Amino acid sequence: MKKHDSIFILCVILFFLPFFVIAPLYDWYKDFNHLHGMVMSFVKFAILSTLGEIIGLRISTGAYNHVGFGILPRALVWGVLGMGINMAFIVFSNGVPMFLSYLGGTNATLLMNEPISFAKVGVAFAISVTMNSIFAPVFMTLHRVTDTHIIATGGTLKGLFRPIPMGDILQNINWNVQWGFVFKKTIPLFWFPAHTITFLLPGDARVLFAAFLGVVLGVFLAIAARKTIK
């Protein structure tokens, strides 16, 4: 481990540590998170998922930042995407159990409020599979578009708000990697089980856990970037 890695880890620990050791601060976080879920979704994803991309950059290039990477634009985009993810959690965590009941199963909505059981795990898995099959590919492609746009505009906040050439970016995506690795491998092998765990958590903890998974996503993005280069 190099010196700048130690400094980076220390800074991350010092940033999050107060929330674990200062009770009033943690209580404020819980109250604010409960009352302003969408705002906190923006904040959580802006911080944690951007952190994941920084770690991914370190893995792929050996540096935590470079000219044109655009940490602030990425954080802004992740914040907006985080609100979309929170919305998806609400829609699918309520809609899928209702659909299962409609198909003739037990009352899956009530089941998700009961203690852990095989049946509850099954419902959580169904929610995860449905969400990641419908929402995740669109979300991942949109993120790829914004990521490409940020790089193309020099990683600046001003560049982020320029019109996005959607057609050109979509045509130039490496779909062999996007489909063969990002969709076909990470979704069923990682996101299906990871979000099954997510939907077994209390509602207030789901978005935070999903934001922590953004760190893992950063590693996946780094791997995908290497595959694209190859």
Q: Do 4 and 20 lie in a common domain?
A: yes
- pLDDT per residue as tens digits for the range 5-60: 898 989 999 998 998 899 999 899 989 988 999 999 999 999 998 988 888 888 88
28 and 75 assigned to the same domain: no
* CA nearest to 146, candidates 128, 165, 132: 165
Distances (CA, A) of 73 to 17, 50, 170: 26, 10, 20
If asked whether residues 108 and 137 sit together in one domain, one would say yes
Distance (Å, rounded) from C-alpha 159 to C-alpha 162? 5
Q: Both 31 and 48 in a single domain?
A: no
Same domain, 18 and 76: no
Model confidence at 230: pLDDT above 60: no
For residues 102 and 18, membership in a common domain is answered with: no
146 and 98 inside one domain: yes
> Are residues 75 and 162 located together in one domain of the fold?
yes
Contacts of 99 (CB under 8 A, 6+ apart): none
Do residues 77 and 140 both lie within one domain?
Answer: yes
State which residues form the domain around 195: 37-229
The total domain count for the chain is 2
pLDDT greater than 80 at residue 228: no
Taking the C-alpha atoms of 43, 48, 49 and 50 in order, what is their torsion angle to the nearest 10 degrees? Answer: 90
pLDDT reported for residue 157: 94
Distance between CA atoms of residues 228 and 60, nearest Å: 12
Tell me: pLDDT of 214 over 80.
no
Residues 8 and 69 occupy one common structural domain: no
Same domain, 108 and 188: yes
- The encoded tokens of residue 39 equal 């705002």
Helix residue spans in the chain (DSSP H)? 3-21, 23-35, 37-61, 71-102, 108-111, 118-152, 157-160, 166-172, 175-177, 192-200, 203-229
The model's pTM is 0.89
pLDDT value for 211: 85
Residues 1 and 92 in one domain: no
Q: Please check whether residue 223 is in contact with residue 55, taking contact to mean a CB–CB distance below 8 angstroms.
A: no
